[in-house]
Amino acid sequence: MSDLNSFWSWAYSNIMDNAERGALAEYLVAYALGVADNIRVNWDKYDLLSPEGIAVEVKSSGYLQSWDQEKLSALSFGIQPTFGWDSTTNTYSQELTRQSDIYVFCVHKHTDQDTVNPLDIAQWDFYLLPTKVLNAKACAQKRANLPSLIKMGAEKCDFEHIHARIVELIQKEK
C-alpha cells in the first residue's frame, strides 16, 4: 500500500473537477481567514469558522470544466436552505435555514484551457454576501447566478481583504 500523499495525488489532483474545485475554493477562503491549518469537516452545517466565530459558507463555480467543452459554462451557485448537520453532535437541525453568517462566492473566472491554473489566485474572484441579506432577498430560492447575487448585494472582494471584510460585514449586521 502507498502513503497518504500518493492517495491524495491519485484521488484529488484534478482540481478542475467541480468537487475538487469546491474544496480548493474552501481552502483558499480558509487560508484567507487564517484557519487553513484546521482539518476540513465535510458535510458540516457550514464550511468554515473564522477566528472570531463567524460561520462561513463557501460556494464555487467556474467557466471551465475538467471535460471538453463546446462553450463556457454558466456560473451557478447552490444557495438553498438546509437542515444543518452538526458534526460534533451528529444531529440535524429541525429548522430548514441557511446555516452560516456569510457566504463567500468564489468564481474561477479564467476562460483559457491552455493556461488554466486554479492554484493561481489571480484566476479567481470572490464575492461576499451576509446570509441575512441572502435570506431577505432570496427566501427559499435554491440556485442563483452571479448577476442575481450582485443585484442582491454581493460585493466583490480582493483575496487579501476577505477576512477583514467578512468581520466588517458581520459586525455591521449586529
Range of the domain at 168: 4-173
Q: How many domains, the chain?
A: 1
State residue 88's pLDDT score: 82
Tell me the residue type at 120: D
Mean pLDDT, residues 145-174: 96
- Strands annotated E in 87-151: 91-92, 102-108, 124-130, 143-144
**In this model, does residue 21 exceed pLDDT 90?**
yes
- Which residue in the block uniquely carries the three cell numbers 432570496? 138
**In this model, does residue 16 exceed pLDDT 70?**
yes
State residue 114's pLDDT score: 94
Cα–Cα distance list, 113 to 9, 17, 44, 63, 133 (Å) = 21, 13, 33, 10, 35
Cα–Cα distance list, 94 to 45, 79, 131 (Å) = 12, 18, 19
- Contacting residues for 142 by C-beta, under 8 A, at least 6 apart: 78, 79, 80
**In this model, does residue 2 exceed pLDDT 80?**
no
**N- to C-terminal Cα separation, the chain:** 52
Q: How far apart are CA 32 and CA 163, in angstroms?
A: 6
Mean pLDDT, residues 65-75: 94
Q: What is the mean pLDDT of the chain?
A: 94
Rg (CA), the chain: 16
pLDDT tens sequence across 120-137:
999 999 999 999 999 999
pLDDT tens sequence across 86-131:
878 888 888 899 999 999 999 999 999 999 999 999 999 999 999 9
For the entire predicted model, the pTM comes to 0.94
